[in-house]
Amino acid sequence: MIVLDTTALPSRAPASAVFGAVAGIVVYFLVLDPRLLDPSYWIWLMEGDTAAEYLGWRFFRAEGWQWPPGAFRRYGLEVGSAIPYTDSIPVAAFAGKLASAWLPEPFQYFGWWALMCFALQGWFGGCSSRACRCSTARSATTR
């Protein structure tokens, strides 16, 4: 029988990581427009690289499932393309396609993805600052 020893795992998230995630969310709302979280608000994606990413998602969502998974034939030239080549965040694109029947039309997930990136950047920043703080305090006391 395999037993997992969880005594070495922390019982809760470090406060610095939670603070970092909250700070990341606050920065998101200071820097970006809150309308980006509206799944039906897609106009902001029609400039620059994000236009290709959004169009890749739209074509992928509109086509049936193909082999290999992620392929779609009506995007690009004669041979089609695949979702990783359009920079449409493949993990979110697959989840969106699976839930496509319940999602509004049009639908974009890029605003929520950006919010998650801001929060996770703050989270891991808090974790790494906690690790640096501990090693700096030890080295200062040994001098």
Q: What pLDDT score was predicted for residue 42?
A: 93
Q: Are 48 and 83 within one domain?
A: yes
> In percent, how much of the chain has pLDDT > 70?
83
**Plot region of 105 (φ>0 → left; ψ -120 to 50 → alpha; else → beta):** beta
How many domains does one find in the chain? 2
User: Looking at the domain assignment, is residue 141 inside a domain?
Assistant: no
Q: What is the mean pLDDT of residues 19-33?
A: 96
Residues 51 and 92 in one domain: yes
Alpha helices in the chain (DSSP H): 15-31, 49-62, 90-98, 110-141
Tokens standing for residue 4 = 């997992």
Q: Which of 22, 19, 40 is nearest to 115 (CA)?
A: 22
The secondary element (H helix, E strand) that includes residue 82 is strand 81-82
Are 34 and 91 part of one and the same domain? Answer: no
pLDDT tens, position by position, 79-121: 788 888 888 898 999 999 999 889 888 999 999 999 999 999 9
78 lies in the same domain as 124? no
- pLDDT confidence bin for 7, thresholds 50/70/90: low
Q: Does residue 117 form part of some domain? A: yes
- Within this chain, do residues 29 and 48 fall inside the same structural domain, yes or no? no
Find the mean pLDDT for residues 7-17: 71
98 and 45 in a common domain: yes
Q: Are residues 121 and 95 in the same domain?
A: no
Is residue 77 one of the residues assigned to a domain? yes
Q: Are 71 and 82 in contact (CB under 8 A)?
A: yes
Q: How many CB atoms lie within 10 A of CB 125?
A: 17
One domain for residues 103 and 47: yes
**Which tens digit of pLDDT belongs to each residue from 44-63?**
999 988 888 998 899 888 88
Q: What range does the domain containing 121 cover?
A: 16-39+109-130
Question: Partners of 82 in the beta sheet?
Answer: 71
Q: Which residue reads 């086509």 in tokens?
A: 63
State the Cα torsion 12-128-33-44 to the nearest 10°. -110
More confident residue, 106 or 75: 106
